Each structure stands twice: as C-alpha cells, then as structure tokens.
Structure 1
Amino acid sequence: MSPTSEVMSPEGKLDENAEKENLWSSILNDVQNHGNQKLPSCKQVLVLGDNESGKTTLVAKLQGVEDPKKGSGLEYAYIDVRDDYRDDHTRLSVWVLDGDQGHADLLPFALSAESFEHTLVILTVTMTAPWAILEQLQHWASVLADHLDKLKLDIDLRQARRQHIVKMWHDYMEPGDELDPSSPMKRSSRNLGDGDEDNEESIPLPEATLTNNLGLDIVVVVTKTDYMQVLEKVEDYRDEQLDFMQQWIRRFCLQYGAALFYTSAKEDKNCDLLYKYLTHRIYGFPFRTPALVVEKDAVFIPAGWDNMKKISILYESMTSCKPDDYYGDFIMQQVTRKTISREPEITVEEEQSFLVKQQQLLLSAGAAPPPMIRVSDSPLRAGAASKVNYRGQNMPGKLDCSKTVNTPGGEGVLANFFNSLLNKKPASPGTPGAVGSPKMAAAATGATPDTEKEKEAMRSGAAAALDRLSSRAVKPSGVDFDASDC
C-alpha cells in the first residue's frame, strides 16, 4: 500500500469526529430520558363493580392486607410499588366506588379531566352470580362512558389516548417474540413500517376489536372463581355453560380493548399475576407471562392477544346453544330450592270483643256460673277463689255448709266461729258467754256445756280446733274439708 493511501483527508477526520459526537449525544439523551426517571406518583386505579362482587377483597389482596376494611361511597386506598432495579418506590392510588347507583355522582372525585390519562380502570364481576356477569359489565362500561362524556376533556388529548390504546394493541408481542423474529406467533404487521406510528394507525384492527375505544386502560376481573365447583356440583353446570360465559366475556373485552383475569382470593389464584400486570401496564415493568386459557378457573388474557378466531375454539363444546344466543336465555338465575317459611301475621283482637266471644262459648257449652259464698248475716265477702266443699246440716245463723264455698283452705272454720260470735249477745267479762269462757269455747266447737266434765271436754275440743286452724292455714286451695272440721 502506498504511503499516500494511508494519509486520511481532513474531511474524513471531521466526519469521524462528528459521528462520535452523535453517538455520545444519543447515549446521553437516552440516559437522561430513561436512566434516571423516577416512578410517577400521579398514577391511579379506579375499581368499579356491583356490591358483593369482591372489590374490597381484591384491593386488599393487591395491598397484601389480611383483614380488609369495607367502607361506603367512594373508598380510597393505595398500593406500595417498588422498583428494585432502580431502587425506587411510589404509591399507586386506588379508588373503589360503591356499587349503589346513587353513588355514581362521586365519580368526578376519582376520575377527572386531569387524572384521565393517568387512570387504569378495573371492572369486577363475580362468579357467584354468573347470570348477571354480562349485564353488569355492560352497565359499568356505560356508566364510565357517560362520565367521560360529561368531563371537559381536550379533544386532542382524548384522541391521543385512543391512538395509544390502538398502538398498544398492535404492539403486543408474545413473550419471546422480541427475541425470535421468525416466530410464527409474531404478527406480520409489526414488520411493516419498522415503528412508523402513522403506518400502524392505518393497519385495520381485527374483527370486533376496539369498537368502543374509551381511551382508558381497562382490566376485567372475574372474582370468586372457586365457586365454579359449586356451580358444577349443585347447579349442574357443564363445560358448555362455562365456555359460553367465557366467550361472551372475551368478546366484551375485545370491544373495549381490555385484559381479562379470573381470580380467586380464597385459593390465591392469579392475584399476584394481576399485581404484576398492573405494574407492567402502568409503570412499564417487564412482564413475561403468556396468556393462560387451560385452567377454566384461572384464565388470563392480556390486552392485544385475543381475537375472534381464538375465541371460536370455545364453540366446539357448545351443542345445545349457539355462540350468539342471548346470554340471559342460556345462563339463567337458579330458583332458590330452600323454601322460606314465614310466620302468619296475627292481628290482635280488641279485648272486650274477645271476652264477649269467650262468654258466649262458655254459655253454649252449658257451663255453670261460678259458685258464690253464701253466709247468713256474715260480713265475709264472696270473692275468695278456691273451692272448699263443706258437707253438713244447715243451722240458723251459721255458715251454710251444704253449699260449695269458695274460700281458701281452713277459712270455713273461721267463718263458723265468727258466725257464733255474731249470734251471741255481748257479755261482761267473767260472765257466761264472754270471750274466752267455756261457753264461748263450746260455741266454737258446736257443743252445749251441761256439766263440769263436759266443760273440760269442750275446752280441750276448742284447743284442738285452734290447732287444726293453724295447721290447715298452709294447705293448698281447692282441698275438700269434711263437715266434721266445722
């Protein structure tokens, strides 16, 4: 080689220096734009769904909390997000709206024009009410669309967000596709234009894809999938019903460009995977998990993977229905088999009318009127309750023992005693007939003292009568006494 050929011209040196400067400038710009970025703190998640659809439990699972606290109205929580690669962490805000339709007015506090581009929406439905899944998804999607129409969003911003969702759908790649350009799963559209966004926008979307593009990242979460076992055993659900439900849910996700998760907090299925997917969609963390469609209770379909051709695989198990059949005609709410027995309502009858009816019943049955106490010239009242039967002869001025007397036990003897007092004339102390005299004691026993011996017998008889009175005072009412007790 000649010496002249080894000499580089000044123009060549200038070109080489310019190329080195451009190389270093691009490296510095890349480091400045991507190397030192902090995790943004403005990102948030909005959770929508009916009551009892598992919203609170799902958020608690994402937080790593064992005991979820359920509130009302519009709840706020946050999830700690950490980037170990950059040694950075931030808080992801989470808003949970109550399922009551009356709380829809609280949506502006969670999703405003300023937070629109930083919000990811989770729509929750539960497998415990499979007949209402599609209706609830359509309802909350309609509520979300109506709310966005009321916001004063910049037209260019909303259009840019819609284009971002379309680009995300086009740019989806199966894990490993980026390392293997010849992979048959890689879409041919990615080879066109080499990153030209205008060319990507001109590529038509697959059938029934993003027909309702709201400009929001959406994730549909079907909770409590462990209940499928109950549906199969109790409600006699088969693969046909489960596949019919899944194809309708996936068609809904296609329309809104949403990802799909089947989760079970009870069995801890897909909860950690949902957390990783959220950080991937919101913060750009790496995510290497492919779609999961084998386990019927742990389905995962990332946004951008599905299409109608893949959904049609589920049609093979449908023999008694068609894919386009109305959802509610095939997945119907089961009638509760347990009969609820309710006590008949009793109307309280007016007291007086009730008593009149009872009186008429007693008279029609031939019941005798209640017996009364009949005492001649006696101040005793006939209001005592218990029945005591006395049998004996009637004596003038004394208790009629031939009648049934309603007095407590032992009081008939007292009545006889007081009758004797009333029929005797008052006497002075020490005279015959005075209280405490032998004649008085004889009157109490119903005998007439004639001799001293008889007087002594009458005294002992009076003492015995008093002893019987004291002992019979504790007897229960309703005991029949013989006339000899008198």
Structure 2
Amino acid sequence: MTTQEEENLWNSMLISLKEKGGTRLPTNKSMIIIGDKESGKTTLVAKLQGIDDLTKGIGLEYAYIDIRDEYKEDHTKLNVWVQDGNPKYSFLLKFALSEKNFKNTSIMFVVSMKTPWNIMDQLESWATLLQDYIDSLPIPSEELLEYRQKCIKKWNEYTEENIGEKNGLWEHALGEGVLTRNLGIDVIIVVTMTDYISILEKENDFKDEHFDYIQQSIRKFCLQYGASLFYTSAKEDKNCDLLYKFLTHKIYNFPFKTPALIVEKDAVFIPSGWDSMKKISILYDNLQTIRHDEFYNSVISKVITRKALTKDHEVQAEDEQIFLNKQLGLLNQSAGQQSAIGIPRQDSVMRSLTGVSKPGERRMSLTSQGQGSPTKKIDPVKSNNTATPGEGVLANFFNSLLHKKSNQSPIPTKTTGELSGSKSLSFDHPTDYPTEYPTDAAAELDKLAKKSLNITSSTLNETNNVRGEKSNSTSLMDQSSSDC
C-alpha cells in the first residue's frame, strides 16, 4: 500500500468518526417552565424525571431530564429551569434565557385545573412578561425574524399545506388567529391536575359545556403563539409519558406518531400545527347556555372554597352543686394552711369572728359611710388587697352569678362596713333578689343566704358567750383584787 493510499484511508476513517460523532444528541438544549405557585410545576418535573422525591426552591430552580436514544445507544440531559411563581423573581430569567441560547430553548407554560378561573389570566400575564423580556434581549432583528420564520415552518410542516419558499424565507397562508403573537420560540401549554374535573362537577356544579368553554379558550390562546396543548394528571398518570415523548420529538427530533386527542376531556393533546379555528368551532355546538365569545371570568367565575371545619369537642357543663363544693373545699384548704403555719384565721366573706352586725345596723353603717349604693359591685382586686385570698375567690364567684346576663340589670348587693379590716357581702332578705333572674341561681343564693344567717347567728351566740365568760372572769379577778 502506497503512502498516498494510507493517507486516504486515515482521512476516510477520521471523516467517518467525525460524522458519527456529529450524530450524538446535543447537550445544550434547555426548557424553561413558567407558571403560578401551586400550579404543579415541581410535580410535573418530578414525573418527567421519573422520581417521587419532590424538592421545592425559591427564585429560579434548576433540574434536568434524562433523554435516551435506545436505537443509537446515546443519552443526554435536557436542562430544565423552573421559574418561581412570584412575578417579582422574573428578573432571574436572564440566567435561563439569553441571546446566546435563545435558539436552543423551549418554553412551557403551566396552569392548573384546580383553579380554572385563573387559567386565562395566568397565561396572558406570563406570556406578556415573556414577550417583554424577549424584546429586551439584544438579538438582532434579522436573527429574530429568522427564529420566527422557523416557528412558521414547524407549524406548517405538520399540515403540509400552503408552503412555498422564496429567498430562504417561508411564505405561507396561515389560518385565522395562527401565530399572531410569534415569539420565535417553541411554546407548550400544560394544564395540570385534570383529576379536579370530577371534583368541580360534583362540588361546584360544573357541566360539560363549562369544560368545553375552557378548552376552546385555551386552544385559541395556543393558536396565537403556535403552541402545543397537553392536559395532564400526575395523580392519575394521564398524558405524562406522552408529554415526555413529545418533548424528545420537538427538541431532539425523535419519532412521534401519536395523533391529536380530543375525546377525553381530562386527557386532551393537540400538537402544534394541527388545530384551527374551524376545528375549535366544533365545541360551540356543545355550549347551550354559554356564548363562546363571552368574557372568560364571567363564565368561569371564582369559587370560594370553605375549608372543612374541625369539629369541636363537646364540653359537658359541670353541675352547680359540684362546683360550689369544690369552691368550699378550696376555702377550707386555704384556712387549714393558714392555721398550720400559725396565721390567725381571718373572716371570710360570709363569716366574721368578731361578730356580725344586724341588718339594720349594716344599713345605718353604709349610710353613714356613703357606701349604700344598691348596685355597688365588689372589687375583687381591692378585696384581695385588703382581705384574705378566699374573699377574692368568692367575690369573683358571686359577681359572675350576679352579672351573668348583660341584658338584665345586676342584682342589688349590699356591703357591710369594715369588720376587722375586711369587707363582707350579705343580703337582707331572700326577697331582695330580682325575680327575673333564673330560679336556679336565685335558689342557690337563697340557700347561701340562709346558711349565712344561720352561721352568723351561731357565730354571734358563740361570740356573746365568749364575751360573757370573759366578763365573768374579769369580774372575779377584780373582786379578788379588792379582797386582797
């Protein structure tokens, strides 16, 4: 073999390797996913990745989808950028889309059937934001025009109608409403959570004509941007695998032969280039009470969903006698503790060791001190400062009974003068209670008042006996002294 033949052989081998290497899948392809919060962007990406681990970030998230060519035994990674649903983070688009990678990038708008009343507003707002951002990129007008012509070519390649070529540019006769807002970039519209269609039918009285109206509205939007349309449900695994295959077809030119799907209302698929206003108008026949040109939010109005109220635990009211017995026990316990540490027992609200004045004397005492207001309320704070803790507890208890209903006048109460540095509460007679109060409360106060009178009488007798004994003892001592 001559030297020239060897060189030709090596050259042919190098050319073959170069051509083979050129068939490898590109690594510079990207896709930007845009949509509001809670639209299902993260769940959709996880489904396309084939994983269950969901991680949510803030601002601009990065992920990738493995793309494998089983026929050529090749694989690559599709770069995925997930834009935050808050428009204030839109400035981060500059890290995902620039004039350098514009021709290798696709856009996916994501909306949710969970909130169908927001679909068109979200699509319009995000598309306008993206249009403004693309206009701000320093892309030469000739280059941007070339990108837009490629979008027209791709649209017409599906239908293969009205195509001609002149001076490297494609002339065409696009249908009504097609690519009127040509961004020069591939666009895919994905409606997630279509499993909510059944919920909207059951709970919000949505009919088939409502979903037909929603579909025709979205399809008209897709015509303007030359976009493909997918209805998906990650929960029910509808159209997710089909979306993955379609992405490999649009971005990497993998074969794809699935036709448009419009029969199932929760699994719609319409590829770019298939649709037209004539096909969309077929849905008009199903609109009985709705006009197709009505304002979207007047037909699909927002539904106020009420969260399920948690059932409160039933609280059983405590019997009054049990409650009063507990209060009596607390007072006795407090008195026992005071005796244990050597503190002299103080008078309670209903009892005084130094004696209780008669009703007439109490009235005279109150009149002389200017405290005879029949509606005067015991101040628990002041009572706690000047008397024992037990008095404050009973004062609060009786005040709650006396002022149980705000729409009724309070029960007239009368207070005694200062007895051993404390104030006491008493009642002249059971008939002083107002008759309009519940009989149960009045009966309880009657019982307490009667007990108070009995205790007061016994205490007074004991006190008089003690005083009499002391007086006799004093007299005996004085007599002994005089005898001495």
Deviation (angstroms), 1:298: 0.3
Tell me if 1:236 matches 2:222.
no
Q: State the alpha-carbon separation in 2 of the partners of residues 423 and 197 from structure 1.
A: 139
Tell me if 1:71 matches 2:40.
no
Q: State the alpha-carbon separation in 2 of the partners of residues 336 and 359 from structure 1.
A: 51
Deviation (angstroms), 1:142: 0.2
- Indicate how the Cα distance of structure 1 residues 188 and 108 shifts in structure 2: closer, same or farther if over 3 A, else same: closer
Q: Is the 8 A contact 1:371 1:406 kept in 2?
A: no
Q: List per-residue Cα deviations over 1:366-404 (Å, max 9, x = no partner).
A: 735234686xxxxx65568899xxxxxxxxxxxxxxx96
- Matched residue, 2:296: 327
- Matched residue, 2:360: none
TM-score relative to the length of structure 1: 0.63
Q: State the alpha-carbon separation in 1 of the partners of residues 203 and 256 from structure 2.
A: 38
Q: State the alpha-carbon separation in 2 of the partners of residues 29 and 198 from structure 1.
A: 32
The residue identity in structure 2 corresponding to 1:82 is R
Q: Is the 8 A contact 2:32 2:108 kept in 1?
A: yes
- Matched residue, 1:359: 376
Secondary structure of 1:359 counterpart: coil
- Indicate how the Cα distance of structure 1 residues 418 and 63 shifts in structure 2: closer, same or farther if over 3 A, else same: farther
- Indicate how the Cα distance of structure 1 residues 240 and 416 shifts in structure 2: closer, same or farther if over 3 A, else same: same
Identical amino acids, percent of aligned pairs: 46
Q: State the alpha-carbon separation in 2 of the partners of residues 270 and 321 from structure 1.
A: 29
Q: Is the 8 A contact 2:59 2:89 kept in 1?
A: yes
Segments of 5+ residues of structure 1 without an aligned counterpart are 1-20, 174-186, 342-355, 375-379, 388-402, 434-486
Deviation (angstroms), 1:340: 9.4
Deviation (angstroms), 1:147: 0.5
Q: List per-residue Cα deviations over 1:9-31 (Å, max 9, x = no partner).
A: xxxxxxxxxxxx9xx99x99798
TM-score relative to the length of structure 2: 0.64
Secondary structure of 1:201 counterpart: strand
Tell me if 1:139 matches 2:125.
yes
Q: State the alpha-carbon separation in 2 of the partners of residues 336 and 287 from structure 1.
A: 41
Deviation (angstroms), 1:419: 7.6
Tell me if 1:130 matches 2:175.
no
1:55-134 equivalences under 5 Å are 55-134=41-120
Larger helix fraction of residues:
2
The residue identity in structure 2 corresponding to 1:205 is L
- Matched residue, 1:275: 244
- Indicate how the Cα distance of structure 1 residues 46 and 411 shifts in structure 2: closer, same or farther if over 3 A, else same: farther
Deviation (angstroms), 1:49: 1.1
**Equivalent residues, number:** 357
Q: State the alpha-carbon separation in 1 of the partners of residues 410 and 253 from structure 2.
A: 93
Secondary structure of 1:202 counterpart: strand
Q: Is the 8 A contact 1:172 1:305 kept in 2?
A: yes
- Matched residue, 1:47: 33
- Matched residue, 1:165: 151
1:459-474 equivalences under 5 Å are none
Tell me if 1:211 matches 2:228.
no
- Indicate how the Cα distance of structure 1 residues 336 and 200 shifts in structure 2: closer, same or farther if over 3 A, else same: same
Moved more, 110-119 or 268-277: 110-119
Deviation (angstroms), 1:263: 0.5
Q: State the alpha-carbon separation in 2 of the partners of residues 139 and 357 from structure 1.
A: 70
Q: State the alpha-carbon separation in 2 of the partners of residues 80 and 41 from structure 1.
A: 11
Q: State the alpha-carbon separation in 2 of the partners of residues 171 and 358 from structure 1.
A: 94
User: Match for 1:222 among 185, 191, 209?
Assistant: 191
User: Match for 2:264 among 295, 314, 321?
Assistant: 295
- Indicate how the Cα distance of structure 1 residues 418 and 296 shifts in structure 2: closer, same or farther if over 3 A, else same: same
Tell me if 1:285 matches 2:254.
yes
Secondary structure of 1:79 counterpart: strand
Q: State the alpha-carbon separation in 1 of the partners of residues 103 and 374 from structure 2.
A: 79
Q: List per-residue Cα deviations over 1:266-305 (Å, max 9, x = no partner).
A: 1110111111111211122221211111111100011111
Q: State the alpha-carbon separation in 1 of the partners of residues 410 and 172 from structure 2.
A: 98
- Matched residue, 1:148: 134
- Indicate how the Cα distance of structure 1 residues 113 and 422 shifts in structure 2: closer, same or farther if over 3 A, else same: farther
The residue identity in structure 2 corresponding to 1:370 is T
Q: State the alpha-carbon separation in 2 of the partners of residues 297 and 105 from structure 1.
A: 34
Deviation (angstroms), 1:254: 0.9
- Matched residue, 1:202: 171
